Amino acid sequence: MKSEALWLVVTKSRPLPGCEIDMDGCEFYFADAFVSIDRNRGVDSIPSAIDKVKIALLEDRLELAEVIQCVKFLPEDWVDQTESDESLHDLAIRASEIDDVVFSSFRSEEIQALYHYKYIVQESEE
């Protein structure tokens, strides 16, 4: 059994001085971040995932302003109907393979307003 769990953290970030992302001059940028966390972290999994994302954003000169959503990512529970270059599933696979934070492309506030996340909640067979 794989010892890592994959988490999806939907972020709202503010560009810092020196940030090279410049879409439309909006105050915030949004992105989906995939991050692997050791399953043994238990209740510390969510804070650990958010901390890893926060550090990765700072490396890109972005400040985490808000976590919109933080959920364990199980591919079978997600339907991806976006028209982006990489699907949520592609990003998740890459994050698992490189064991690092992987971001979707960053979205403006206007585009984020059009996003709707949909996943299926079902009872575990464990």
Mean pLDDT, contiguous 10-residue spans, the chain (126 residues): 80 90 80 88 86 95 94 76 68 84 88 67 60
What count of Cα atoms within 13 Å lies in the side-chain half-sphere of residue 102?
Answer: 19
The pLDDT value recorded for residue 122 is 58
Measure the CA angle with vertex 82, ends 60 and 87; round to 5°.
Answer: 60
Using DSSP's 3-state secondary structure scheme, residue 31 falls into strand
The pLDDT value recorded for residue 35 is 94
The pLDDT value recorded for residue 19 is 86
Output the pTM of the full model: 0.81
Q: What is the DSSP string of 52-114?
A: HHHHHHHHTTEEEEEEEEEEE--GGGB-----SSS-HHHHHHHHHHHTS-EE---B-HHHHTT
